[in-house]
Structure formats: C-alpha cells, structure tokens
Amino acid sequence: MTGGGLLVAGTTSDAGKSVVTAGICRWLVRRGVKVAPFKGQNMSLNSFVTREGAEIGRAQAMQAQAARVEPTALMNPVLLKPGSDRSSQVVLMGRPVGELSAKGYHGGRQRELFEPVMACLEELRGTYDAVICEGAGSPAEINLRRTDIVNMGIARAARLPVLVVGDIDRGGVFAQFFGTTALLSPEDQALVAGYLVNKFRGDVSLLEPGLEMLLGLTGRRTFGVLPYAHGLGIDEEDGLRISLRGAVRESVVAPPVGEDVLRVAVCAVPLMSNFTDVDALAAEPGVVVRFVDRAEELADADLVVVPGTRGTVKALAWLRERGLADALVRRAAEGRPVLGICGGFQALGEHIEDDVESRAGAVDGLGLLPVRVRFAPDKTLARPVGEALGARVEGYEIHHGVAEVLGGDPFLDGCRVGAVWGTHWHGSLESDDFRRAFLREVAAQAGRRFVPAPGTSFGTLREEQLDRLGDLIEEHADTDALMRLIEEGAPVGLPFIPPGAP
C-alpha cells in the first residue's frame, strides 16, 4: 500500500521549503507517523555522505534527522554540484556520473532521470506512512516545466497534493501565491491545495483580510502563518544563509566561560562547499564566527578557516588575488592558527596536479603544509572514524583530490605543522570532545584566555533546533487540515485560475 505524501513547493528559492519540510517531518514523527523526506533533484554544494557511502544534499540529511530515520540515497536521487555558472557535476544515487552544462542537462538528460527519481519516491512511499517531498525553486518556472523532475512533474506522476510556501519577509507574498498558481496548467493547478506563509513579523490579525481575499481569488486556503524565527541555524541547501561579514548565527548564546572570546574568520572562497562545518564552532559560547573576503579581516582573527570548495584551483587564485594568500602565509610564519578543511586543506599544501576538476594541470599551493595533491577521476566518499588530540572523531569525506602527506604531525587523515592544521574530514568539529580539545589548542596558540564550555553538545543543540521547527508547524499551522491533505490528497474541484501555463 502506498503511503501518504505531500510536496512542499515555494514561490521562490529560499522561501523556506527546506525548513518547512523538516518541520513537518519532526511534527509527524512526534505524532507517531513513520515519515521520510524526499527531494528528486537538488542543486547544492552542501552535501553529506550516508552510511552506505552515497552523497546526498545536507538539507535532506537534516530532514532525515528531523524524521528520526537514517538518510539514504533514495531521499535525494539526483544532486547537482555547480562547478561554474554554466555547468554542474551530476550525482545519481549518490555517485557522480558526469559533468554537464545547464543546457545539456535541461535539454535532455534531466528527463532521462525521471524514471529513477520516481522509482525512489515509490520505494519510500511503499515503506513509510508518509513521504514529505521538497520542491526546488518555483513550480512556475515555465521554461523548465517540460523536463521537470522535482516540482509538478513528480506531483502529477505521484498524485501528490502541493503546499506552496511564500516568504512574506521579502514582500509581495500575495502576488507570489496568486501568480504561481495562475502560471500552472489546469492539471497542475488541480494539485495545488493551498499556501503557507513563512517568516511573518507582527500581528497575524492584520494579515487575515488578505488571506480571505486570496481564498476568494484562488479558491485555496492558507494552512498556516509561521512567525519569523531567529537563529534556527539549520543546514541550507543552495546558498549562504549569512552574508559576507555577517555572523554565522543570529541566536544569542551563553557568555564565554573564560575571560576572552575566540574570533574565527572563514575565508569565503568561490564555490564554497560544506560551510556548515563551522556551525559547531559558532555553537560554542564565546566563539564568534564570521565569513570574510578581505585580507585585513584576518588581522584580529584567532583562527582562520579555509573551508571546502568545489574548485580548489579557483579558490587558490581567489586567495592570491585578494591578498588573503599572503596574509595566510604571514599567519603561519607567526605561529597563528589556520585550519584547512577538504579543498582548503588541499590549497594549504605544496603542489596540486589537477586534470579532473579544473583541468589546470600543475599548480603551486600555498606551501604551508608538506602535502602534494593529485586529483583522481573517482570521488572519495567515506565516513571515517578516528582519534585526534586524545578524542574520538567522526567525519565524512567528499573529494577528488588524493593527498600525499610528506611530513608534519598526523592530524586525522592530514597533518599539522605548528599552528597550521589540515584534513579532508568534514564534520569533525561536531565531535564535542575533539572540538573542545582543538579550541583549547587554538586559544593557547592565539594567546587567548578562552575556555571551552564543558557541556556544549552539538548533537543536542541540533535536536533542539529541529524540535523548534516541529513546534512552528504544530503551533502555527492547521495540523488537522495538513494531516488530511497528507492522507487524502488535494481536495476535489479546486478552481482553475487563468491564464494557466502558456
């Protein structure tokens, strides 16, 4: 028997689809429903490795955690990892299958993936009581509808009701809801059950006349108005949730335990991937994390992080153009802490041979670590476990670069020389004991009287954030109506709103 389901679409990118999907998953699992997330096609540089060694979007891994199930490749069968404005690596069922231009992908390859995407969805629906699907961008992208495998394409094929989320904080949400619906074909409109307002500030009673008018114009109800929630700190999908020179989190954390704070500067390199690695640092009381793009912004930093990137050679050129490379070299000479993760680790090495990612051939690294990197056609996807600084560490690896470590002190799979550290392991800082030991080392090297808080548990904080998402749904959405929608599908007889799809 096929389980219930729902497609969470959005009027725009970043309307809140990812967090609403996670919130619905957490609300359902708390009600005893066996639920799974799904996104047929995801474009993101933030990815995760499942236990079976498959690469999927981090947003779907986060949603699986919200649903209290183990993430699998079934939940995100197609992942696109941009390498430029015009091309992306295509990851199918967790494994890279090639690099395609946007025109080549939407011109034919995308439609070929429809059957495997639907097979994954049907397998999940046969296993779970409910599957909450996340759309991408907007379902009213009429130029892409013919080959769509993530919005109305799967809603039509699977007969899923559609809930459209709009970000009222941007303005124009009524026009977004109406226009999104009116640009869909009659067959697609028949599945659009209603709307969900996201990020509302103020008195909801002031909004209600507009919602009534929207009902009159479209024949579709609004299932809830979610308030603007500060500091959710949940993994994003296809863009930085912070701006450059902005704090990585908005929420208020406890004051530092020691006398000093630690300032962390993260170099916002091009094609930055898995910038979520620094979330665990930002969760520590007394640690201030900022993304930077200018050399002078490194001056007062106690730790500089060079994060992962889908373009190591491009990131190196960017660091050099902006004077950040010279600033990193000076820091290393002065014994001031630097951490390179994945692509950032590769950039800190001596030499790179890249005939795969950039096809640039031989390129000099920054020479801060005794490491030589050769890019291999096959991607390393792993979930390593190890020990560093006397603590157990878990992480995950996603990289084409193979590092040959020629010296220094061992550090996870990489090395350390003085105050410069490098590893391919994403997610290592989420291991609480290791993170605290690492921060103590950084504080000592930086001369700061900073003391890590003894009880910070990143896993507990993440669970609290997911519960907050579940609370938003439970407290501000019509959950009885939402449950009927998931179980019974879109109401029959929803009116057509002209003009429809051209």
Enzyme catalytic residues: 342, 426
Contact predicate 194/164, CB 8 Å = yes
Tokens representing 51 are 């236990």
| C-alpha distances in Å from residue 194, one per residue of 66, 184, 214 | 24, 14, 10
Apex CA 459: angle with CA 254 and CA 410, to 5°? 100
Give Dmax (Cα) for the chain. Answer: 71
Contact predicate 58/47, CB 8 Å = yes
Helices 17-30 and 479-488, packing angle to 10 deg = 90
DSSP 409: E
Contact predicate 435/284, CB 8 Å = yes
- Which of 422, 380, 382, 371 minimizes the C-alpha distance to 399? 380
d(CA 125, CA 244): 41
- Which of 162, 157, 149, 154 minimizes the C-alpha distance to 191? 162
d(CA 349, CA 340): 10
Give the β-pairing of 409-411 and 414-417.
antiparallel
Q: How far apart are the first and last CA of the chain?
A: 37
